[in-house]
Structure 1
Amino acid sequence: MKSIILFTFLICFFVISCKSAKENKLVILQSKDNSKEWYLKDYKGNQIPGISLDKWYNQNKKKSKSDIIVAIIDTQIDISHEDLKGRFWVNPKEIANNNIDDDGNGYVDDVNGWNFTSNKKEDYVVWGNFSCIRIIRKWEPIFKEKKEDQISSEELLNFKEYLRALKVYEKESSNYNNWLKSCRYSVALFPVVKDSLKHYFPKEDYTYEELDSLYKIYKINDKTFRQRREDDDRDIGALIGFMKFRFENDENTIEKMLETEREIDSIVNRNLNKNFNDRKVIGDNSNILEKGYGSNNISISKKGFKNIQGHCTKVAGVIGANRKNNIGIKGFFDDIKIMPLNISYSGNENDKDIAMAIYYAVDNGAKVINMSFGKEFSVNQQWVSDAFKYAEKHNVLLIHSAGNESSNADENPYYPSDNNFDGKSEICNNFINVGSTSSRLDSTFVSRFSNYGKQNVDLFAPGEEIFTTFKNNKYGTDSGTSLAAPMVSGTAALIWSYYPNLTVQEVKQIIMDSGTTYDLEVIVPGTKDKKVPFSELSKSGKVLNVYDAMQLAEKVSKKKR
């Protein structure tokens, strides 16, 4: 019994660790109350490596010249959040709920944005395939069981992507299937553990600290705690360890454990299932780009799907939370209008939805598009590349989170990207890829989870312990490159609101050139202690600086007059 319990314990720990490093989700960390807005501070004035937004507001006396629409391509959003009220884009030519496409843009009743993962009945995608599954499903009929010497030069890149996808799938499938087995065993064991612990806690009201104290006593004299019967051999130390682990992972009730089991079961049987059709709910033609599929409800949230609104709400708060209401947090400025475009769910985003969301944003007036999501594979990258070029042609800037895999983006493809990873040059010059930094001016300055790359990560911005808006009218602290990207999106919007004559290429270069340099040796994410100069982990070698960006933008703008 003891060996099985300990094996289960170790498997849970290993797989959970893999998942938190793998997924491009926000990682909850604790933050001290007195440092909630550290990322707005200035290094020279406060000795805090923030973005110097407070410094700019303390010195700026001018008024902005125009509203700026920032599209957020992400999950669904909590549109009723108190700190986001009045912050949303409103389609001026669309009459709400009349079931007519009043402005003729191809989308019916799109008053505040669009949901590309829903249908007209407002059913929506909750579970979608991982991108490796889509690659395998596309190329398996052609490449299955073939070797490289059987592949033509024209198909070699696709064949290598297929092999890479198979490798990722095998690893993910093994990890999640082991996790699911562990979950099922733990659910079955949980009542046994609780029953055994009743001997020491009759009311079952123990805390983690009490379990820990009991465990230490057990370690000193395990004979006192070992219950032996002819038909039962229970190691109380292992049982206490099992329950401590449940507390550490916030799974100390059977309900929470069953919730985790259901989630992992869905990942195994939906995210990683080649036969699962994640477009069935939407009912579109997944082989072509088309307008109009989806629904106008950008804020759907049904009971049981707790995270569906959470991610986008956090990102939106960083960019556009009300600065004047004296509650919650402060966004970049009050003339930002947020355009939510829903494409994300549990799984990886579909290239069709990414491309169509970009076209929608550009055609409906967005100047900045925030994309805090990513994936390892792209089935229809050309669709996305064409959308990038369309945005550049219309003077629209694309901001993307670099990802949370602790990975070198120059060696490991991460999409969407302005690089096709085929050895050719960048496809456009209106794309900024953003890594994450912390408030610590030491070797851990670059967040341990952040991707990096001298060629494919453009610059860094604060993304660790960021206080922002949470769904259900709440606030909290989170971390991830998903929160670093909106720092840059807000800066770009602020620049254009004062200097509308600048081109997208100029705004990108201003943001890159004006960043703060830090003369630090930092630990390379994903390594134990390998250190390099901070400047070597991104193209610019810098961290976003709003104050300096606004100063430089003014100079560039004046030269054009």
Structure 2
Amino acid sequence: MKPHFLIIFLCCFVACKSIQKSGNTSSFKSELTSQEQRNWYQKDKVLEGIPGISLDKWYASNKKKPKSKNIIVAVIDTQIDINHEDLQGQFWTNSKEIPNNGIDDDKNGYIDDINGWSFTGTKSGGYVVWNRYEYVRIIQEWGPKFKDKTKSQIDPKDLPKFNEYQRALKKFEEKMPYYKRWFKSLNYKVALYPTAKDTLKHFFPKEDYTYEQLDSLYKKYKINDKEFWQRRDDGDKDLGALIGCMMANLVMDQKKLKDIQDMQTQLDSIVNKNLNINYNERLSIGDNPNILEKGYGNNKISNTIKGVRTIQDHNTMVSGIIAANRNNNIGIKGITDVKIMPLNISPSGDEHDKDIAMAVRYAVDNGAKIINMSFGKEFSMHKDWVSDAFKYAEEHNVLLVHSAGNDSEDLDKAFHYPNDQNYEGIRGICNNFISVGSTTKNLGEKLVSDYSNYGKENVDLFAPGEDIYTTGAGNIYKTDSGTSFSAPMVSGTAAIIWSYYPNLTAAQVKQIIMDSGTAYDFEVILPGTEDKKVPFSELSKSGKVLNVYNAMQLAEKASKKKK
């Protein structure tokens, strides 16, 4: 999974209420109680003055019973905490499989797949932690054919691959030096830290110095930035270098040696694994990444496996938004009561197209109605495999929900995979794909998250994705942000619709969700800019924010028409 560096907000919970006017944004609540901070996204703009998805409003008004309680939502993502207290009873169980007998009882191609499957599972029972980025895999795979060639030397049928290879090479040549410099800087800081810490005690015996105090001391020695970095590269350890090193630590919020060492470990893996052309993450899996096949990986979907140290909790957070138990009076309330089918494909780095395609097909073949995909990447080496899998899902009336991404980019111009576009970048390979951007709890010019991708053609709608309180791995609860958390809002809503109106098609459910959203007739700050404003309606195809209450009203009308 590509690191998105999502901002984790430690919210300052405020108990007082404040209603104010803001242009044509009507009344909205600018200061929320502690409970509202945790579930703001479920609120209603009119009733509570909070731009949520009107989920509470629908539950309060609904008097009907669902026709189906067995909607399955496949969450294609990282490992998951299957033992989390708020997810107990919420996992899909393969009733046709006898647990742990080493036999493929249902003959679906996967042995002992009781609750899902790990496509990044290793032969030893663990899972892959680090993948290369897709552009690195492209260079390794296509380099022998295209290296040092010019466009005029390429067969016309190979031009699409050649152009993608050139784009991948440019990306690699930009990123590798950047991360190497960063890694070198961290190595220097780790080596220098003990001496710097000990030396500064002479000036600050209580070690209570601030950045400003260090900066003042630093300037006394008249060392400019260029000289500092040169001394760092030379391994210099004079007083100016020691002060500068600790100043840099404060800027990066790395006040302890362990903080720097943890980042050093991360950068080591990025340089030597994510960006290493010769690193092969598939060796421990034992499959052939160049063919589509069933059965590789293992059934260890949980991140609590003994002997596996790295905890990945992205799937746990996403699944909690969709399906955390609404009736146990602990933790949070998920959007609806469904069964989660965890499918693991996302280590740190970029997902393999093979794993994406096979996970989609597994979900479809094993009864999922909705597939949540909160991941993304800039390159796709086997886009045709994924496109075929998406069409397969469409043929079986399965809805695909995808996070738009956190790069502040216009997806009508930028590359972002997986998607429902053809090779010319035109949408239309299937009608069951929804792309979701992120909104905040701020009703006004800051409604759209500053990191969210957008696109009048290639983002369908927005949903809350900032400051989302949800379940986390290790049986905890946490607040996090990203379009990764906007997508499950839509997935959960689709599950509610289908549980009451099972006769609707995936294409109809998609259209209902888009048509029923809340429209906001004002300008917002364009993601990635400081103050450029554009009409909110121009940032997505629908120009709206998800609204459960409206969606259920529209779904009822559509269902009656279909009878």
1:211 aligned partner: 210
2:486 is paired with a residue whose SS is helix
In the TM superposition, residue 307 of structure 1 has moved relative to its aligned partner by 5.6
1:549 aligned partner: 551
Query: Contact 1:438 / 1:445 at 8 angstroms: preserved in 2?
Result: yes
Distance (whole Å) between structure 2 residues aligned to residue 529 and residue 304 of structure 1: 49
1:187 aligned partner: 190
- Among 73, 89, 92, the residue aligned to 2:95: 92
2:65 aligned partner: 63
- Among 505, 508, 513, the residue aligned to 1:506: 508
Do residues 261 (structure 1) and 264 (structure 2) align? Answer: yes
2:404 aligned partner: 402
In the TM superposition, residue 304 of structure 1 has moved relative to its aligned partner by 9.5
- Among 345, 368, 371, the residue aligned to 2:370: 368
CA displacement 1:46-75 (0-9 Å, x = unmatched): 111110001101111111111210000000
2:4 aligned partner: 24
Any gaps of 5 or more consecutive residues in structure 2?
A: 14-33, 222-235
- Among 273, 297, 305, the residue aligned to 1:270: 273
Distance (whole Å) between structure 1 residues aligned to residue 493 and residue 11 of structure 2: 24
Distance (whole Å) between structure 1 residues aligned to residue 501 and residue 298 of structure 2: 35
Distance (whole Å) between structure 2 residues aligned to residue 304 and residue 85 of structure 1: 23
2:28 aligned partner: none
2:358 aligned partner: 356
- Among 222, 226, 234, the residue aligned to 2:239: 234
Amino acid at match of 1:441: L
**Larger displacement relative to structure 2 (496-505 or 170-179):** 170-179
CA displacement 1:190-248 (0-9 Å, x = unmatched): 1121111222454xx645xx4357448758x959xxxxxxx98524xx75564354355
Distance (whole Å) between structure 2 residues aligned to residue 30 and residue 505 of structure 1: 39
Query: Contact 1:24 / 1:374 at 8 angstroms: preserved in 2?
Result: no
Query: Contact 2:374 / 2:402 at 8 angstroms: preserved in 1?
Result: yes
Query: Contact 1:126 / 1:345 at 8 angstroms: preserved in 2?
Result: yes
1:194 is paired with a residue whose SS is helix
Query: Contact 1:100 / 1:109 at 8 angstroms: preserved in 2?
Result: yes
Q: Normalising by structure 2, report the TM-score.
A: 0.89
In the TM superposition, residue 41 of structure 1 has moved relative to its aligned partner by 0.6
- Shift in alpha-carbon separation, 1:240–1:438, aligned structure 2, 3 A: farther
CA displacement 1:284-326 (0-9 Å, x = unmatched): 1212111111111101446897764211111011000011111
CA displacement 1:317-349 (0-9 Å, x = unmatched): 100001111111110122x00000000001100
2:50 aligned partner: 48
2:290 aligned partner: 287
How do 1:480-519 residues align onto structure 2 when only pairs under 5 Å count?
480-519=482-521
Distance (whole Å) between structure 2 residues aligned to residue 529 and residue 139 of structure 1: 42
2:346 aligned partner: 344
1:461 aligned partner: 463
In the TM superposition, residue 422 of structure 1 has moved relative to its aligned partner by 1.4
- Shift in alpha-carbon separation, 1:364–1:157, aligned structure 2, 3 A: same
- Shift in alpha-carbon separation, 1:98–1:250, aligned structure 2, 3 A: farther
Query: Contact 1:521 / 1:533 at 8 angstroms: preserved in 2?
Result: yes
In the TM superposition, residue 44 of structure 1 has moved relative to its aligned partner by 1.3
Do residues 252 (structure 1) and 255 (structure 2) align? Answer: yes
1:163 aligned partner: 166
2:228 aligned partner: none
- Shift in alpha-carbon separation, 1:314–1:244, aligned structure 2, 3 A: farther
- Shift in alpha-carbon separation, 1:532–1:421, aligned structure 2, 3 A: farther
Distance (whole Å) between structure 2 residues aligned to residue 539 and residue 170 of structure 1: 35
- Among 554, 558, 562, the residue aligned to 1:560: 562
- Among 298, 303, 306, the residue aligned to 2:301: 298
CA displacement 1:391-415 (0-9 Å, x = unmatched): 0111100000111111111111100
Query: Contact 2:438 / 2:464 at 8 angstroms: preserved in 1?
Result: yes
- Shift in alpha-carbon separation, 1:165–1:233, aligned structure 2, 3 A: closer
Query: Contact 1:447 / 1:525 at 8 angstroms: preserved in 2?
Result: yes
Distance (whole Å) between structure 1 residues aligned to residue 420 and residue 515 of structure 2: 19
In the TM superposition, residue 526 of structure 1 has moved relative to its aligned partner by 1.8
- Shift in alpha-carbon separation, 1:98–1:428, aligned structure 2, 3 A: same
1:37 is paired with a residue whose SS is helix
2:31 aligned partner: none
Aligned length: 526
1:260 is paired with a residue whose SS is helix
Distance (whole Å) between structure 1 residues aligned to residue 528 and residue 558 of structure 2: 39
- Shift in alpha-carbon separation, 1:421–1:410, aligned structure 2, 3 A: farther
- Shift in alpha-carbon separation, 1:425–1:260, aligned structure 2, 3 A: closer
Any gaps of 5 or more consecutive residues in structure 1?
A: 1-18, 224-230
In the TM superposition, residue 454 of structure 1 has moved relative to its aligned partner by 0.9
- Among 330, 333, 336, the residue aligned to 1:330: 333
Q: Normalising by structure 1, report the TM-score.
A: 0.90
Distance (whole Å) between structure 1 residues aligned to residue 443 and residue 369 of structure 2: 33
- Shift in alpha-carbon separation, 1:143–1:127, aligned structure 2, 3 A: same
Distance (whole Å) between structure 2 residues aligned to residue 118 and residue 485 of structure 1: 25
Query: Contact 2:421 / 2:429 at 8 angstroms: preserved in 1?
Result: yes
Amino acid at match of 2:210: L
In the TM superposition, residue 278 of structure 1 has moved relative to its aligned partner by 1.2
**Larger displacement relative to structure 2 (369-378 or 284-293):** 284-293
1:340 is paired with a residue whose SS is strand
